[in-house]
Amino acid sequence: MTLLAILSDGFFAAVAAVGFGAVSDPPMRAFPAIALLAAMGHALRFCLMDTGVDIASASLCASVAIGIGSLLLGGRIHCPMTVLFIPALLPMIPGMYAYKTVFSMIMFMQNLDDPSAAGYLAAIVRNGFVTFSVIFMLAAVAAAPIFYNTMTWPVQALIVLAAVVLTARLYLRPTHRVKTAMKCFLAFLNAWIAVAYYLVSCDARAYSGVMAFFWGVMAAVWIYDAVVGYTTFERTYKHDKFAFALYLMPFLYPLISHLRGLDFPMTTSPVMPCTVAIFTIGLMLSFSKRINLFVVLFLCHWSLIGFSKVYFFGIPEDLLLASALVPALYLFFKEYIDVNFRRNAKPDLRVMNMLLLAMCSGLGVFFAATIWQQLVGMAG
């Protein structure tokens, strides 16, 4: 294997990817990224196969590289990652193996009574298995959210219905049984994100295990809270309007995805990590008389993760989560300071509230600048 062979492989893959991309009419700024991703992925697969790695495993590694690259480049050029990774992946579809599969099928049908039929049947199985394996490896990494929506949309619909019913009961008849049921539901919801979303649908991503652990811890926290009864789910009637606005935000995610030109199953659904975080923030704001501060800190941390996805990966849907963080953070900690801060402490309560306001204002300016940058990029 020589450097010229690697460069040639990458060059012809880039040419093919640009041709595939032109069919879907992407913006002109996307073509250099498509070519770069295709060249990088195909050259990587070429190198791995030259060292003895099978084509399916090499395709998996290449698709991981293309998927990560499309996330990073998509944020920089303000393009959805699907515009970049789909054309970049297409040159890696094993056309020769697919051709041999079809050819062997035709020859098998024409020579059923001939002894050579057994050889053609073996060729069908061998080439067909390679073709299927490579295509599956390419798709599994790049389109995990698509698989998630396709496989789980009926369950997602039931989860949304359960959330609406339990939230309404919590407002209208907040009995001990209803409050315990809501905590159990939140434990299930966090466990669902950990298992169904990260461990199953996103298992090919390198960070899926860490994220699954993150949400699994939250599920355990809600189970513990259901046992000890720390969170009281008592209304303060202070932030109801803001809480209701947060309840509506998960339903805006699919709308924003649609405005970006994405259709089901590629849209962001109401039962994904960031939408679950927004729902939980709204619930705890409305019932904030006594809340679990660990859950609040977790949600704030996850909101910052969602903000990083806006800034680095170009996912504008998560602007909703980022915009919900600042006022929620201020309200949570202002109430905590007002209730728990001693009057004779230094600095005094007024100074602490001013410091909190300054911190949240700084975050708000930072978020607003990023939102403006996203809007300017989308308009351009």
**241 lies in the same domain as 296:** yes
The pLDDT of residue 163 is 92
Do 101 and 154 lie in a common domain? no
Question: Structure tokens of 316?
Answer: 């504008």
Domain C-terminal end among 97, 127, 142: 142
pLDDT in the model for residue 105? 84
Q: What is the pTM of this model?
A: 0.57
31 and 163 share a domain? no
| Of 378, 336, 331, 375, residue with least CA distance to 357 | 331
Residues 96 and 204 in one domain: no
Query: Quick one: pLDDT at residue 345?
Result: 46
Query: What are φ and ψ of residue 113, in 5° steps?
Result: -95, 5
Q: Point out the domain boundary residue: 142, 167, 190.
A: 142
Q: Mean pLDDT of successive 10-residue segments in the chain (380 residues)?
A: 81 86 80 88 86 78 77 70 78 78 82 77 81 65 60 84 92 89 92 84 66 86 87 83 86 80 72 87 81 74 65 62 69 63 52 59 57 53
Question: Which pLDDT belongs to residue 326?
Answer: 67
Domain region containing 13: 3-142
User: Are both 150 and 86 inside the same structural domain?
Assistant: no
Residue 248 CB: number of other CB atoms within 10 A?
Answer: 11
Could you give the number of structural domains in the chain?
A: 2
Instruction: Based on the fold, state whether residues 241 and 253 are members of the same structural domain.
Output: yes
Cβ count within 10 A of residue 171: 13
Residues 218 and 124 in one domain: no
